[in-house]
Each structure stands twice: as C-alpha cells, then as structure tokens.
Chain A
Amino acid sequence: MNTVISIANLSKIYSSGHRALNEVSLDIHAGEILALLGPNGAGKTTLISIICGIVNASEGSVKIDGRNIIDDYRITRSKVGLVPQELTLSMFVSVWDTVCFSRGLFGKKPNQEYLEKLLKDLSLWDKKDNDILTLSGGMKRRVLIAKALSHEPEILFLDEPTAGVDVELRKDMWDLVEKLRQSGVTIILTTHYIEEAEEIADRVGVINNGQLLIIDDKDALKHKLGTRQMTIDLEQAIEQIPQSLSAWSLELISEGCQLIYTYDSHSKHTGIAELLRAIDQAGLLLKDVNTSQSSLEDIFISLVKNSL
C-alpha cells in the first residue's frame, strides 16, 4: 500500500511544559480510513493540528506524499482538508460565501458546478444564502465539512466529527465518509466513540498521554488483543467457587448464578472441555453456556488503563 502520510518521531511540548505528543511515528496509507481513538487530552487534536500546519511540532517530521510539510507546505497543504472539532465559523456570512472563501484560500477559483454538487450532497443547497448564524448545530457541522471539501482535497481529517450530533446526522456522516473513501480520499478521523471506529475504519490507532499505544487493522487488533469469555449460567446459585475449580480463572457474578471464564481464543488449549467436566464433577448443574468476543471498546479500555 502507498504511504500518503509519514510521521516520524513527532513530539510536541507546549509552552506550559505539557508534553502533548511523545515521539509518535505512524504511516497512513492512501485511500484508507484510519480512526484514532483516545480519551480527551490524549493528543489526537495536537497530532492532526501539526499535520495540517496549525501547530508547530517540537521535534520530528511529517511528510505528505514524500514531501516535508514545512519545506513544501504549499503542495502538502493543498492536498489536505480539515474539519475541526469545534464549530468555528464566521457567523455573519452566507453558506455560499464561506465555502467560496475556503476554496479561494487554497488557491482555487470558484467552481459553481462542483460547489453546487457539494452543497447538495450535504443537504445545504437550500441554505446556501442563509447566514451561518441562522443554522442549527448539525447544519453548521455540515458547513464545516463543505468548507473542508471545497478545494477537493486528497486527504481529509475529521476531528471528532460526530461529537454532539444526532443519530441521523451521524449516519449521514458515515455515509459521506464511505462515499469519499470510494472516490479515493484518505480519511483520518479522531473519535472517542468506539462504535464509530468499529463501523467505518479500516485501521485503528489508540493514543493516550501523547503516545501511540497501538495501530493495526481493525479486525487484526481484535484478533490480536481480544479475549473470549464464556458465561456459564447455573441452575442454582452458589456462595463461592468450589476449590476443585481453582485451576481456572473464574469469576462469580449475578449473585452466584453465573460463572465467567476468560480465555485466550488463539491458544491451542482453551481448557473449556476440562472446565465443563470439572463443573459436572463438582455437582453444579448447568442451565446455559455462551461465549463472546471482547469488543474494540474492551480492548481500548484495557490499553488505556495499562498505559496509565
């Protein structure tokens, strides 16, 4: 796969002394959707801001299509569009004017046909003459996307795109992201909605305390770090786990009615058969048994917890 963005040993220390990024290295592939997960203050926005030229890095380098973002800023920035986290818009201009302004900043002349299609795709066409001030929060979010796409970027950064938006708009955004990917746009989104990453991303990176803890294909990540759990429903509640079952990592929940067995699904020997036999020998009656794979959310929580 072609690397479209190459980040090497990127660090950022703010004047307050806060280290927002700590030697982050990362390659982003052309045409992929990469989700960067992390709690608030993890360094996601700082990372995006440095790549887009809004914040200066303290150390390290970023290349877009093999060109350094400082030395070749004209070429590299012209390839990038950014949808910021906050609804940062000039309130007293019309939707049409603000989109034309954004396109102009990137050195492109107004293109009536393209901008009309863009606004129609984002359900903004009938609001094109309205001042931003009069729009709802969801509509303002769409305007930010229209501005970011106004210069036809090859790479799109979406910083918490669905923070505080309703379910319908969130679904619309996911559809839009998928459409953009199909047209060849590389998309990097930050989010703390894990289901968002699970739904639309190809690869997932987890950032915490300015460090990239892991980055991998979404399914590979679940495969690599995920654990399976077997839930055993008992006919009768027990007060404590019998001594004969101490060899297994069991947890007693639901007021003694359920046993949880956590195991490595990739291990050759899961121990399930022996456990079920031991339960039978211990005189416990089984009501039901089911197994589940840990979600991306479980993996995320475990990674973040371990990094503290």
Chain B
Amino acid sequence: MNTQAVKVIYKYEMLRAWETILQSFASPVISTILYFVVFGSAIGGRIENIEGVTYGAFIVPGLMMLALLTQSVSNASFGIYFPRFTGTMYEVLSAPISFVEIILGYVGAAASKSFLIGLIILATAGFFVDLRIAHPIWMLSFLILTCISFSLLGFIIGLWAKSFEQLQLIPLLVITPLVFLGGSFYTIDMLPPAWQTVSLFNPVVYLVSGFRWSFYEVSDVSIEISLVMVLLFAAACLAIVWWMFKTGYRLKQ
C-alpha cells in the first residue's frame, strides 16, 4: 500500500479547499441559511407540523442532503477533472499507485470536505430550529456513506467529462432535480399515489428517508431498505470506477 501517495493527494486536495475556503465552506452554509430563512421561517411558519415535527426542523435532514450531494459530486468531479484538464494527471498515472489508492486520496478528500460541510450545516441549523437526533450513530453513518458514495459518483463524472460544461451537466440536470423531488422538503406520502410510485425510483428518496429517520424516527421507507440502497449505490459507483481504471477509459486511451 502506497500510503505516502494517498497522504499527499489527500493533503493537496484538502489544501485546495482551504485556499478557496469561501467557495468551499462559506457558500454552501450561506445557501442553507437562506433555505432556513425562506422555507423554515417565512413559509414554514404557515405549514403544519409533519408527523409531530415542525416544518423548519423537518427539512434539516433534506437540506443537509441537498448540500452534501451537490458538494460531494462537485468536489470530487473537479478534483479529478482539473488535473486531466491541465495535463498534470500524467504524474498520478505514472506513479506506483493502485486505483484504490487514487480513490482513497481524491474521493477521501472530497468526502471529508462534504462531511465537514454537513457538520457545519447541522451546527448552523441548531441556531434556527430545535434539533434532536434520535439515532446519532445512524445519522453519522448515513452522513459518511452519503459523502463517500456521491463523491464516488463525482469522481466518475470527473473521469468521464470532456469539458467543464459536461462537468456541470449531471449535477445541474440530474442531482439537483433528484434531491428536490426526493422528499427533501416533504414526505412522499404527501404526493398523489402515482407520483409516490415514481418517487420510489429516485435513489435520493432512500437517502433522505433514512437520514431523516435517524433524526426524528420518521421515514418514507424502512431504514434497512435505505441502508441497502445506499450501499448498493456506493458499490455500483465503485465498480464503475474500477472498470474505468482497468480499461483506462478516458485516462489511458
């Protein structure tokens, strides 16, 4: 195991986040605060409690997921796309590093950044709403799993993209709509029956549901199903990355 290589890649990526601290950390926190002000206070005050939870508190897990998913994808995709774009990727490819070590470095750093953002948003939410976390271990587990699996997805996008436009395409056109339609701001049983069925095809539903359960023991699907879905998603992403490195897809071709 080339731990030194993992360490330098991880450190380099974390330093990059530190040097662009406003963009990396302040921006998602400010966006989340705005959501709380608009949905939690302004509109949320006029919405009834959902299964005994105030609307402001109810949307906390969904908002965290929204930030985590978009940040994980954008951090990881940019982290690997930029060296491809500038040509510095040659150095990583010519070094004695396995694909697992490359993932540990790049995806580990992207997931760490998202994890920190998640914790910061959680702390920020505490200023606006009464928070209670029924199952802290589950909450942390979901947080970590989400950061890792969506950082893996971002890594795939960063390897696949041929331009900055393509890099933005999936986060904008796929991730954001999936999060908004994945029960971040409502429970899916508030939807008409047909749309409830459609929602079950949205993987984000399982993430938000499981995450929300760890806070308030309120969920759309059972916690076990949520966990299995997240693990399956992570495994699928890992398999795709493995295939990309094995074939050299858009890296060594």
Which residues of A does B touch, CB under 8 Å? 14-15, 49, 52-56, 73-75, 77-78, 80, 82, 84, 86, 88-90, 92-93, 100-102, 104-109, 147
Contact = CB atoms under 8 A, between A and B. Distances in A.
A56 B88 CA distance: 18
Contacts of B12: 93, 101
A102 B91 contact: yes
A88 B86 CA distance: 6
Interface string B1-44: 01111011100100000010000000000000000000000000
A55 B93 CA distance: 9
A134 to B, nearest CB: 16
A108 B253 CA distance: 28
Given A54-B94, A88-B88, A105 B252 contact: no
B60 to A, nearest CB: 36
A147 B91 contact: yes
B95 A106 contact: yes
B4 A108 contact: yes
Interface of B: 2-5, 7-9, 12, 19, 83, 86-88, 90-98, 247-248, 252-253
B198 to A, nearest CB: 38
A29 to B, nearest CB: 22
Contacts of A77: 94-96
Contacts of B83: 90
A89 B97 CA distance: 19
B252 A56 contact: yes
A53 B93 contact: yes
Contacts of A105: 4-5, 8-9, 91-92, 95, 97
B96 A90 contact: no
18 contacts: A52-B94, A53-B252, A55-B248, A55-B253, A56-B252, A73-B96, A77-B94, A82-B94, A84-B90, A86-B87, A88-B86, A88-B88, A90-B83, A104-B5, A105-B97, A106-B96, A107-B3, A107-B96
Given A54-B94, A55-B252, A75-B96, 12 more contacts: A49-B90, A54-B252, A56-B248, A56-B253, A77-B94, A77-B95, A77-B96, A78-B96, A84-B87, A88-B88, A106-B5, A107-B3
A106 to B, nearest CB: 6
B23 to A, nearest CB: 14
Contacts of A86: 87
Contacts of A56: 247-248, 252-253
Q: Lowest 4 A-B CB distances belong to which pairs?
A: A104-B8, A88-B87, A105-B95, A74-B96
A187 to B, nearest CB: 16
B249 to A, nearest CB: 10
Nearest to B8: A104
A165 B167 CA distance: 35
A104 B83 CA distance: 17
Contacts of B2: 74, 107
B96 A54 contact: no
A207 to B, nearest CB: 20
A56 B253 CA distance: 6
Q: Quick one: which of A49, A54, A89, A92 has the most chain B CB within 10 A? A: A54
B96 A88 contact: no
A138 B94 CA distance: 23
A92 B8 contact: no
Contacts of A90: 83, 86, 88
Q: Quick one: which of B90, B93, B96 has the most chain A CB within 10 A? A: B96
A109 B253 CA distance: 31
A53 to B, nearest CB: 5
Contact of A54 (B4, B7, B8, B90): B90
Contacts of A102: 91
A89 B134 CA distance: 49
A99 to B, nearest CB: 11
A89 to B, nearest CB: 7
